[in-house]
Amino acid sequence: MKQDVIKLSVAPAMARAAEYGLIWRNQMRPLDATASAEELRASFGGRVPENGMNETDVIADLISAAEPGLVGNTRPGFHAWVMGGSSPVGVAADWLTSVWGQNAGIYQCSPAAATAEEVAAGWLLDILDLPREASVGFVTGATMAGFVCLAAARGEVLARAGHDFDADGLYGCPKITVFVSEDTHISNLTALRYLGFGTRQIAKVPCDDQGRMRPGALSDMMRCADGPKIVVATAGHINSGAFDAFDHIADIAKVFGAWLHVDCAFGLWARAVPELKALTQGLDRADSWSTDGHKWLQVPYDSGFAIVRHADAHRRAMDISASYLSEAPGDGRNPTHFGPELSRRARGFAVWAILKSLGRDGVAQLIRGHCAAARTLAERLGEIDGITVENEVSLNQLVLTFEDRRQDPDALATDMETALNEDGAHFFRTSRWQGRNMLRVSIIEDGTDTAAIEKLGAKIERIWRTVRH
């Protein structure tokens, strides 16, 4: 009887959200937000509520306030950024994650949450063919994954130089130099700042026209630096999708005793596809890898993985232990040993569910399909006068420039963005890269197949004809 009362008090709001969620995911909603910041503030805003209100009405109000500010990254046609679409099975598992309300801090808080992560971690290492003994932290995304990996790197290179980071922190430590590509993703610089590295400790290595770090320059620069060293390479450049020359870079890192980290927010997933795996040649020789679950694997936000070859260094950097956080001999792994948080969401359930629903083969098909679509689009657009595909399309990214002798190319890219977005069927954004304004095309949403891409190619051609005249 008591249980019935509890059920009635929580169920209507949940039922309303679930019912709405199913409808929302099946509707063709606008891809871009339709309300301005001011309008959204007005819908969400107002004074602090003095009195509570009915929960179902709150959910109805949340829906009407949020909807005009929602962006369509769960739908095909969204090409603006490398963002995943929260696959239905991932959302279902994520709903359960909320319903169960588990705290994935330590094993005993939620043996199920800890075990789902432990098992999913093993599956990830297997599918991505990374060292099976590596440790995996389930974090909020690639930025935090990079932070975790680089924290492990910092402790380890200092330990090798005879400095005890745990005891002395950064006080009196030898200067560490971190080598990043001059075109590294901004999140790596942010993670380094969180870890106590300023711009004077970061050496920016020149890169080629695809954003790939030049190994010769790296070697020269490392030769000139004293003290412990960390190298940050990239698998899947944010604009071009390019991969660094990992074998070469790993050789250099070895010569200088450096820790090699790879930011592979989305590029790592090429390893799941047999015919694309060669793009990542030598990547498995690194010491750590940061990647996203919420991009290509379509895990609902937030999901990222910090993968470290040296589990001890990983654990030393992140460990949270205290006597009240009980551990017993038969316990499984404690999630908090491998991430920056103690109490947190049980991120492993959705990852486990998606990997189980796709299987190794399904993951490969997902990535393969997007890369094939990107190549098809590149071939199609490459034939159109005035459009240049600026990158070598090896993954899922295209960057386009537009040229017409009467008009400014930067303005043309923006005009194309506006015109392409106008009918609401697609959503693009431009980015400044190599000093030019370029239209980015990221192909990562589930359902973006070759047929959809052929239609898109025809649309870009049609719109280009109107924009250039």
Ligand X SMILES: Cc1ncc(COP(=O)(O)O)c(C=O)c1O
Query: Peptide bond preceding 408: is omega within 30 degrees of 0, i.e. cis?
Result: no
Q: What is the contact mask toward ligand X in residues 335 to 374, using x (rule: CB under 6 A)?
A: ----------------------------------------
CB within 8 Å of 156: residues ≥ 6 apart: 259, 287, 310, 313
Tell whether residue 143 is a contact of ligand X (CB under 6 A).
Answer: yes
Phi-psi region of 252 (alpha: psi -120 to 50; beta: other; left: phi over 0): alpha
Q: Provide the minimum distance between the beta carbon of 393 and ligand X in the complex, in angstroms, as a whole number.
A: 16
Tell whether residue 304 is a contact of ligand X (CB under 6 A).
Answer: yes
Binding segment (CB under 6 A) for ligand X, from list 13-21, 140-148, 219-227, 279-287: 140-148
Binding segment (CB under 6 A) for ligand X, from list 137-145, 166-174, 191-199, 357-365: 137-145
Among 93, 238, 400, 453, binds ligand X (CB under 6 A): 238
CA 250, 254, 257 angle in degrees (round to 5)? 135
Residue with nearest beta carbon to ligand X: 141
Cα→Cα distances 386→68, 268, 374, 407, 426, Å: 36, 33, 19, 11, 21
Tell whether residue 265 is a contact of ligand X (CB under 6 A).
Answer: yes
Binding segment (CB under 6 A) for ligand X, from list 17-25, 110-118, 135-143, 170-178: 135-143
Cα→Cα distances 261→148, 162, 288, 358, Å: 11, 21, 5, 28
Tell whether residue 292 is a contact of ligand X (CB under 6 A).
Answer: yes
Among 124, 142, 178, 299, binds ligand X (CB under 6 A): 142
Bridge partners of residue 291, in order along the sequence: 305
Structure-block tokens of residue 288: 């750590």
Nearer to ligand X by C-beta: 293 or 457? 293
Binding segment (CB under 6 A) for ligand X, from list 136-144, 153-161, 240-248, 347-355: 136-144
Nearer to ligand X by C-beta: 110 or 298? 298
Nearer to ligand X by C-beta: 236 or 369? 236
In whole angstroms, what is the distance from residue 382 CA to residue 376 CA?
A: 10
In whole angstroms, what is the distance from residue 165 CA to residue 158 CA?
A: 7
Identify the residue whose tokens are 């990647």.
291
Among 17, 31, 80, 82, binds ligand X (CB under 6 A): 82
In whole angstroms, what is the distance from residue 369 CA to residue 273 CA?
A: 10
Tell whether residue 236 is a contact of ligand X (CB under 6 A).
Answer: yes
Q: Provide the minimum distance between the beta carbon of 302 and ligand X in the complex, in angstroms, as a whole number.
A: 8
Q: DSSP string covering 220-238, please? A: HHHHT--S-EEEEEEBS-T
Between strands 202-205 and 259-263, the pairing is unpaired
With CB under 6 A as the rule, give the number of residues binding ligand X.
Answer: 12
Task: Return the residues of window 176-215 that contact ligand X according to CB under 6 A.
Answer: 185, 187
Structure-block tokens of residue 188: 């790596």
Nearer to ligand X by C-beta: 86 or 143? 143
Tell me the backbone φ, ψ of residue 221, rounded to 5 degrees: -70, -35
Among 72, 141, 155, 369, binds ligand X (CB under 6 A): 141
Tell whether residue 263 is a contact of ligand X (CB under 6 A).
Answer: yes
Structure-block tokens of residue 84: 């995943």
Q: What does the binding site for ligand X look like in residue numbers (CB under 6 A)?
A: 82, 141-143, 185, 187, 236, 238, 263, 265, 292, 304
